[in-house]
Amino acid sequence: MTSLLVDRIGELVTNEPGGRDPLAIRRDAAVVVVDGQIAWIGPTGGAPACDVRVDASNRAVIPGFVDSHTHLVFAGDRSGEFAARMAGEPYTGGGIRRTVAATNAAPDTELSANLAYLQRELTRQGTTTFETKSGYGLGVDTEARLLRIARGVTPETTFLGAHVVPDEYKDRPDDYVALVCGPMLDACAPHARWVDAFCERGAFDADQSRAVLTAGVAVGLAPRLHANQLGDGPGVRLGVELGAAAVDHCTHLSDADIDALAGGDTVATLLPGVEFSTRSPYPPARRLLDAGVTVALATDCNPGSSFTSSMPFCVALAVREMHLTPAEALWCATAGGAAALRRTDVGTITAGASADLVVLDAPSHVHLAYRPGVPLVHTVVANGEIAYQQGNS
Ligand code: NIG
Ligand code: FE
């Protein structure tokens, strides 16, 4: 049983609930990690001796980022679509089928290697917990294959067979929904924790999305939903009604959507990398926060609408473009992400929590937005182990 001490922390963001400051910042602090968990937090100098010491040298330490929404199991490149969008083309989601074709043609070894590459990117940028999903297979065996590969790297796996209707079902979408709710779900459920659908015009309507989520819940999966990305729609309210842990995107929200979120316990997950990469208006984050809704920030890392794995970049976008304070944005990217995954063991640096923390090469968390695009992650501890150190890998 190895113990690890991180001391001389100038600013320690704990996210400990209950106080007036949501970040519950401590100064000149130390953290002791034993057996993958936070064992002790106190002043530098008061900590017990440990096997390994990380001297934070007055830097800031934050909880590891919790990226509650990614699509990392895929093959192929869609940079041409991005270039076309920057020249004026709209994003419609139609390119999803291009990734489906490339993914289905790729062997497991290629998909696993791509996933490992992206996982390293996430780690180097301070993400210690992430969700990822299927959705680029759209067949019984291919969706199960993507989830099996995803399960190898995270317990937070989501079945998204209802991503779009594949070409072979385009004239009979309800037959595809029946396939998703039947044989595809049966094949995928053993590898998934969550069930999701893309509830959007051009993808799945409210009845179809309801059918998929209800079928998933019936076999023990927990619901979450892609909603209100490309336009107004019923997705957010449907998610709240079905008790979804989170509704994700929330780009186009009516007052009724915000009231529904404020009245339920569904988290609104905002994905500002999408608005950046599709040149769309940003979600009304301030209205959500002012209404008391729990907000999460995530990357939505995927080859189409948002090919960034960087939570620091999303924090900077949330501050600059959605008017969150740097403290609010950091909370949403850590504790907010944990709430979106219904996890109480991550997203905080508190006794008993999973020892997931990031030493920033900066004196304060504010630098995450103040110094956009700068690699500020100095050291990453994930599950009690040093997963990354600047200059060492
Ligand atoms: O979350 N909205 C649906 N799915 C993804 C985009 C997938 C793609 O374009 O490949 C999203 O943005
Ligand atoms: Fe997504």
pLDDT digits (tens, 9 = 90+) for 160-211: 999 999 999 999 999 999 999 999 999 999 999 999 999 999 999 999 999 9
Verify whether ligand 1 is closer than 6 Å to residue 300 (CB atom).
Answer: yes
Ion ligand 2 nearby residues (CB, 5 A): 300
Kindly state whether residues 275 and 205 are assigned to the same domain.
yes
Closest ligand 1 atom, CA of 303?
10
User: Ligand 1 centre and the CA of 186: distance in Å?
Assistant: 24
Kindly state whether residues 27 and 54 are assigned to the same domain.
yes
What is the phi/psi pair of residue 109, to 5°? -60, -40
In percent, how much of the chain has pLDDT > 90?
97
CA of 70, nearest ligand number: 2
User: Ligand 1 centre and the CA of 304: distance in Å?
Assistant: 6
Residues in the chain: 393
| Last residue of one domain, picked from the residues 307, 323, 341 | 341
Query: Residue 392's pLDDT band (boundaries 50, 70, 90)?
Result: confident
pLDDT at 393: 58
User: Ligand 2 centre and the CA of 135: distance in Å?
Assistant: 9
- Chain centre to alpha carbon of residue 37: 22
What is the mean predicted confidence (pLDDT) over 132-137?
A: 98
Kindly state whether residues 14 and 147 are assigned to the same domain.
no
Interacting residues of 240 by C-beta distance below 8 A, sequence separation 6+: 247, 260, 261, 263, 264, 266
Query: Residue 371's pLDDT band (boundaries 50, 70, 90)?
Result: very high
Kindly state whether residues 105 and 58 are assigned to the same domain.
no
Distance CA 166, CA 181 (A): 15
Q: Enumerate the known binding-site residues for Zn(2+).
A: 69, 71, 226, 300
Instruction: Tell me which residue has its CA closest to atom 6 in ligand 1.
Output: 305
Indicate whether 1 pLDDT > 90. no
Kindly state whether residues 35 and 140 are assigned to the same domain.
no
Indicate whether 8 pLDDT > 80. yes
pLDDT at 188: 99
Residue 241, CA distances (Å) to 43, 230, 238, 357 in order:
45, 21, 5, 35
Q: Enumerate the known binding-site residues for 4-imidazolone-5-propanoate.
A: 78, 136, 163, 229, 305
User: Ligand 1 centre and the CA of 305: distance in Å?
Assistant: 6
Kindly state whether residues 19 and 70 are assigned to the same domain.
no
User: Ligand 2 centre and the CA of 352: distance in Å?
Assistant: 31
Indicate whether 319 pLDDT > 90. yes
Q: What is the CATH number of the domain that holds 55?
A: 2.30.40.10
Kindly state whether residues 321 and 358 are assigned to the same domain.
no
Kindly state whether residues 101 and 37 are assigned to the same domain.
no
Cut 0.95: pTM above it: yes
pLDDT at 391: 86
Please check whether residue 334 is in contact with residue 68, taking contact to mean a CB–CB distance below 8 angstroms. no
Q: Which residue has the tokens 């519950």?
A: 24
What is the mean predicted confidence (pLDDT) over 102-106?
A: 98
Indicate whether 125 pLDDT > 90. yes
Kindly state whether residues 241 and 374 are assigned to the same domain.
no
Residue 4, CA distances (Å) to 74, 204, 214 in order:
36, 49, 44
pLDDT in tens, 45-74: 999 999 999 999 999 999 999 999 999 999
Indicate whether 346 pLDDT > 80. yes
What is the mean predicted confidence (pLDDT) over 303-326?
A: 98
Verify whether ligand 1 is closer than 6 Å to residue 226 (CB atom).
Answer: yes
Closest ligand 1 atom, CA of 249?
1
Indicate whether 369 pLDDT > 70. yes
Residue 372 identity: P
Kindly state whether residues 248 and 380 are assigned to the same domain.
no
Average pLDDT for the chain: 97
pLDDT at 160: 99
Q: Which residue has the tokens 């067979």?
A: 161
- Chain centre to alpha carbon of residue 357: 16
Verify whether ligand 1 is closer than 6 Å to residue 156 (CB atom).
Answer: no
Domain of 59 in residue numbering reads as: 3-63+348-389
Interacting residues of 167 by C-beta distance below 8 A, sequence separation 6+: 97
Range 28-50 burial, b when 16+ CB lie within 10 A, else e: ebbbbbbebbbbbbeebeebeeb
What is the phi/psi pair of residue 269, to 5°? -95, 125
| Last residue of one domain, picked from the residues 301, 319, 341 | 341
Strands 132-133 and 357-360: unpaired
Q: What is the CATH number of the domain that holds 221?
A: 3.20.20.140
Domain count for the chain: 2
Interacting residues of 173 by C-beta distance below 8 A, sequence separation 6+: 165, 204, 208
Kindly state whether residues 165 and 233 are assigned to the same domain.
yes
What is the mean predicted confidence (pLDDT) over 287-304?
A: 98
Verify whether ligand 1 is closer than 6 Å to residue 304 (CB atom).
Answer: yes
Kindly state whether residues 19 and 113 are assigned to the same domain.
no
